[in-house]
Amino acid sequence: MRRDRQAAAVGMKKVGKYEVGRTIGQGTFAKVKFARNSETGEVVAMKVMAKSTILKHKMVNQIKREISIMKIVRHPYIVRLHEVLASKTKIYIILELIVGGELFDKIVHLGKLPEYEARQYFQQLIDAVDYCHSKGVFHRDLKPENLLLDSRGNLKVSDFGLSALPQQGVGLLHTTCGTPNYVAPEVLRNQGYNGSAADVWSCGVILFVLMAGYLPFDETDLATLFRKINAAEYSVPSWFSAGARSLIYRLLDPNPNTRAHVEGIREDVWFKVNYVPVRYSEAEEVNLDDIHAVFNDIEDQYVTEKVGSTDHGPLIMNAFEMITLSQGLNLSALFDRQQDYVKRQTRFVSRDSPRTIIANVEAVAESVSLKFHSQNYKIRLEGVSSNRMGQFAVVIEVFEVAPSLFMVDVRKAAGDTLEYHAFYKILCSKLNHIIWKPSR
């Protein structure tokens, strides 16, 4: 019986040549799923978007732009786009799978990074940003949540949804976008701005956060926040070295004309310590015909979607998912909450029944005044963000990893990452009685 269930789970869904697994990320307009290329065995991330949603919100041009940009920018420190597929109802973006989590997760758990480590990530960030700018691409939403880490600990820039491509005859950008705490002052003034200088400001905020463990500009009142950003009103912690302090002052210059530029950053004495420029070979000329075809001729060349039989129990986690989650063959990382990787990935294991797990999660939701919606051993918790500036939402899903052993995967769906990690600590403390702790 279990073997039949496992076969059903493995073949639960197939999109073209890709076997589709669990959801590993969720946003307002898309889900990101674990998938495997059945021809090559390569594990990838599959971003799934409903065509109806794209059309309803008039996002066709924006999504085309994001996909086009990701195909144009091919760099070791940027998440790679493999291909784009379409079915009758959905668009599938096949991306490089990054298993190390967000850089922000590391900051949350360590408080702040050692200066040498912060500098290493900053060097990789500047390499990626410089490459984007050389292609005429401006990210416009650089922040730690959009900086991922691969299995080797290298930086990967993601989320080009707000990026701008160069347009003939247009020198300045005019769209106010990005996350408020990381946005350059000239962007807020709505008088046109240079995309390169705006990205450099965001890089400066990121470097500050990496070394300080907190934001240079952080106010719940937007008017006060914008005033401090416009005046570059912030304090540098005493533990910053003189070299780091000097560079940050140049990066967080409210005047974009005198702000440090990428070339100047590369020549900075502090930046150059142990700096080794990344080596990569330029890819052949990028062809965007397939992307245009997906959006312009959506009635043609569909991939097939095959859905297997459903089961009323929790999904069984495939072996290739478990191996990828554990970053190799050391599966103990899945079950030991004390290991740093698992702590950052926010998941735990229980020997209680799935129904008991869900019931306990619902009780926790009620205790912290979050609404909840449950279906098929998956639960979404929703509420208002603590700063009252948006929605806070968490998705929790139960998977069977062995007979009578269940992994509970917790992921942020909306809201601030810092608030999410604070919630996860509360959740674990209230669920401590059902969390399995393996004997040593």
User: Is 56 part of any known ligand binding site?
Assistant: yes
Q: How far is 428 from 436, CA to CA, in rounded Å? A: 11
Q: What does the block give as tokens for 367?
A: 């205790």
Separation between Cα atoms, residue 354 and residue 408, nearest integer Å: 9
User: What is the residue-level pLDDT of the chain in tens, covering all 440 positions?
Assistant: 443 344 344 445 888 889 888 887 776 677 888 899 988 989 998 888 888 877 776 777 777 777 777 777 788 998 888 888 888 888 888 888 888 878 888 887 778 899 999 999 999 999 999 988 888 877 777 887 788 888 888 999 887 643 333 343 333 433 444 467 888 888 877 666 678 888 899 999 999 999 999 889 987 777 888 889 989 999 999 999 999 999 999 999 999 999 999 999 999 999 999 998 888 776 556 666 667 667 665 444 455 555 555 555 666 554 444 444 443 333 333 343 333 333 345 778 888 888 899 899 999 999 988 988 888 788 888 887 765 556 788 888 888 777 778 888 888 877 777 788 888 888 988 998 988 876 54
State the pLDDT at residue 355. Answer: 87
Residue-range domains of the chain with CATH: 2-97+284-307 (3.30.200.20), 103-267 (1.10.510.10), 315-432 (3.30.310.80)
Measured CA distances, 256 to 66, 163, 189, 230, 259 (Å): 26, 19, 12, 11, 5
Tokens 């992921």 belong to which residue? Answer: 411
Active site residue 150: no
For residues 106 and 210, give the distance between their C-alpha atoms in angstroms, rounded to a whole number: 9
Closest Cα partner for 351 from 360, 363, 340, 341? 360
Distance from CA of residue 432 to its chain's centroid?
A: 28
What pLDDT sits at residue 297? 55
Catalytic residue among 105, 141, 409, 416: 141
Phi (first) and psi of residue 378, to 5 degrees: -135, 135
pTM over 0.85: no
